[in-house]
Amino acid sequence: MLSPRDGKVIASVDEAGPEDVDRAVRAARLAFDEGPWPRLPARERASFLFRLADLVEASAEELARTISLEMGKPLRDSLGIEVPAVAKTFRWYAELADKVSGEVTQSSASALALVTREPAGVVAAVVPWNFPLTMAAWKLAPALITGCTVVLKPAEQSPLSALLLADLASKAGLPAGVLTVVNGPGPVTGRALGLHPGVDVVTFTGSTSVGREFLRYSADSNLKRVWLELGGKSPNIVFPDAYDLDAAADTAAWGIFFNSGEMCTAASRLLVHRDIADDFVARVVSRAAAYFPGDPLDPATRMGPLVSAAHRSSVVARVSEAVSGGARLLTGGRACLPDTGGWYVEPTVLDRVDPAMPIARSEVFGPVLSVLTFSTTAEALSLAGDTPYGLAAAVWTRDLATAHHVSRSLKAGTVWVNCYEEGDLTVPFGGAKLSGHGRDKSVHALDKFTDLKTTWLAFP
Ligand code: NAP
Ligand code: MG
């Protein structure tokens, strides 16, 4: 595999074919059906996750460097954001493990009705490369804590960090078969997992098109449950009465250029009121220079390269297509830093974007902001909803009624008011429409990995 940093070979990784996937699923099946894991007291399962969190922290430098090398995230974010998020996730679910209970329902005096949460079985977790270990931890922690066993399939672009995590899990003492990592191309390795009759649940984060494939795999095999967390085209709506337009401009720029725009929740559509549009867009454009890309291993770099040469070409082509269609390029739009051999693209802002243009409707997954304007709240809402996605949205206003009306009206899994990308493990994360339906994080993630069982005891 090649590093996006300089296009050079950094490792070669074995690919798991269908037979390897079968071995991994059989091991997970055995660990679930006969092993100690689902039978341990929840508190004991938690102790393994606490140990894993400690080991993740102790290996933070190595994990962060590996992520930055394999997928190009700046070290300041892999070390400052991603690795701490992984440790926090394992710890948060470990703390939750023995605090979730079943129910005793109101039944007749001659019966006792229990509703218990049973672990769902063998989970296949299939994740993308943009937050390789955070996405993995969001699946692994709740699945493991409920007593499930897991086969993890990372993206081809980020196999190394997942292998390091597997190594730490074995150092934490997880019993054999509880967590297995299988690397390899999606259409081979991912497909074999999706079709395997020994898998009970698929938890998937990635693109909408591959999400559809997993629903087909399920239909064509054992009707396994498929949870989908997919792409987005999130609107960031700015009203003239926002508390602080400079803070809103800082956040609008960060919302699209953070992680090179390779974010499912990227603030890729700026919807700004016509009265302030020219001034506000100028403020956003002035911030773009701070994100001019650089070496992801340099601690000062705020934006790294894109994940692959092919992805870089597709992002640049999307910008050219938008400009040919009438959008105006305010800054960026080109590949840059060719001497590095890496896959860098300038931070890009396009205005005069028409809502019907492809750039306004489908995900770019790069550092490309599209600006659209509105005059009324109704127009803002209509523009905001005019994509097939429903992952996230933001609204900037000091008017409580507007904030409430807009956030209640938007079809989205998360709405931020006067902020963007905020959150912690207490709140669920996921989408609506073509952004999928699964929820990661929070106590609600346990629903994905548990079955409710009713036990009705009669006392004749
Ligand atoms: P992707 O191409 O859909 O891949 C996601 C995973 O599915 C990878 O492990 C991939 O493996 C595998 N895969 C690909 N084709 C497959 C197939 N035919 N059968 C089975 N598995 C297959 O997505 P990506 O490029 O890695 O990530 C970007 C996408 O993820 C964007 O759409 C983004 O919005 C979305 N995302 C969503 C969230 C969220 O929580 N909603 C979070 C982050 C990212 P290979 O790569 O090895 O082929
Ligand atoms: Mg891929």
Are 397 and 415 contacting, i.e. CB atoms less than 8 angstroms apart? Answer: no
Per-domain residue ranges of the chain: 18-230+435-458, 235-424
Residuewise pLDDT in 10s, the chain (460 residues): 999 999 999 999 999 999 999 999 999 999 999 999 999 999 999 999 999 999 999 999 999 999 999 999 999 999 999 999 999 999 999 999 999 999 999 888 899 999 999 999 999 999 999 999 999 999 999 999 999 999 999 999 999 999 999 999 999 999 999 999 999 999 999 999 999 999 999 999 999 999 999 999 999 999 999 999 999 999 999 999 999 999 999 999 999 999 999 999 999 999 999 999 999 999 999 999 999 999 999 999 999 999 999 999 999 999 999 999 999 999 999 999 999 999 999 999 999 999 999 999 999 999 999 999 999 999 999 999 999 999 999 999 999 999 999 999 999 999 999 999 999 999 999 999 999 999 999 999 999 999 999 999 998 8
| pLDDT attached to residue 107 | 85
Check pocket membership of 210 for ligand 1, CB cut-off 6 A.
Answer: yes
Rounded to the nearest angstrom, the distance between the alpha carbon of 127 and the centre of ligand 2 is 9
**Ligand 1, pocket-test mutation among 163, 205, 209, 308, most atoms within 8 A of CB:** 205
Nearest bound ligand to CA 153?
1
| pLDDT attached to residue 460 | 80
| CATH of segment(s) 235-424 | 3.40.309.10
Rounded to the nearest angstrom, the distance between the alpha carbon of 102 and the centre of ligand 1 is 34
Residue minimizing CA distance to atom 48 of ligand 1: 186
What is the distance between the terminal CA atoms of the chain, rounded to a whole angstrom? 67
Q: Helices in 72-149 by DSSP H: which ranges? A: 75-77, 83-96, 132-146
Atom of ligand 1 nearest to the CA of 429: 40
Q: Do domains 18-230+435-458 and 235-424 have the same CATH topology?
A: no
Check pocket membership of 124 for ligand 1, CB cut-off 6 A.
Answer: no
Residue minimizing CA distance to atom 42 of ligand 1: 264
Residue 148 annotated in active site: no
Check pocket membership of 153 for ligand 1, CB cut-off 6 A.
Answer: yes
Rounded to the nearest angstrom, the distance between the alpha carbon of 152 and the centre of ligand 1 is 13
Query: Phi, psi (5° rounding) for residue 436?
Result: 95, -170
Check pocket membership of 77 for ligand 1, CB cut-off 6 A.
Answer: no
Question: What is residue 366's DSSP assignment?
Answer: S
Rounded to the nearest angstrom, the distance between the alpha carbon of 156 and the centre of ligand 1 is 10
Residue minimizing CA distance to atom 32 of ligand 1: 207
Residue minimizing CA distance to atom 40 of ligand 1: 229
Q: In this structure, what token pair is assigned to residue 63?
A: 């994990």
Residue minimizing CA distance to atom 18 of ligand 1: 187
Residue 336 annotated in active site: no
Beta strands 368-374 and 389-390, pairing class: unpaired
Rounded to an integer, what distance in angstroms lies between the CA atom of residue 272 and that of residue 405? 17
| pLDDT attached to residue 109 | 87
Are 151 and 25 contacting, i.e. CB atoms less than 8 angstroms apart? Answer: yes
Rounded to an integer, what distance in angstroms lies between the CA atom of residue 188 and that of residue 24? 14
**Ligand 1, pocket-test mutation among 204, 264, 268, most atoms within 8 A of CB:** 264
pTM for this model (two decimals)? 0.97
Rounded to an integer, what distance in angstroms lies between the CA atom of residue 67 and that of residue 76? 11
Check pocket membership of 229 for ligand 1, CB cut-off 6 A.
Answer: yes
Catalytic residue chosen out of the listed positions 156, 229, 346, 363: 229
Q: In this structure, what token pair is assigned to residue 356?
A: 């019907």
CATH number for 18-230+435-458 (one of 2.40.160.40, 3.40.50.10470, 3.40.605.10, 3.60.20.10): it is: 3.40.605.10
Rounded to an integer, what distance in angstroms lies between the CA atom of residue 224 and that of residue 199? 7
Are 15 and 183 contacting, i.e. CB atoms less than 8 angstroms apart? Answer: yes
| pLDDT attached to residue 49 | 98
Atom of ligand 1 nearest to the CA of 156: 47
Catalytic residue chosen out of the listed positions 82, 264, 336, 346: 264
Rounded to an integer, what distance in angstroms lies between the CA atom of residue 198 and that of residue 193? 9
Check pocket membership of 362 for ligand 1, CB cut-off 6 A.
Answer: no
Rounded to the nearest angstrom, the distance between the alpha carbon of 182 and the centre of ligand 2 is 15
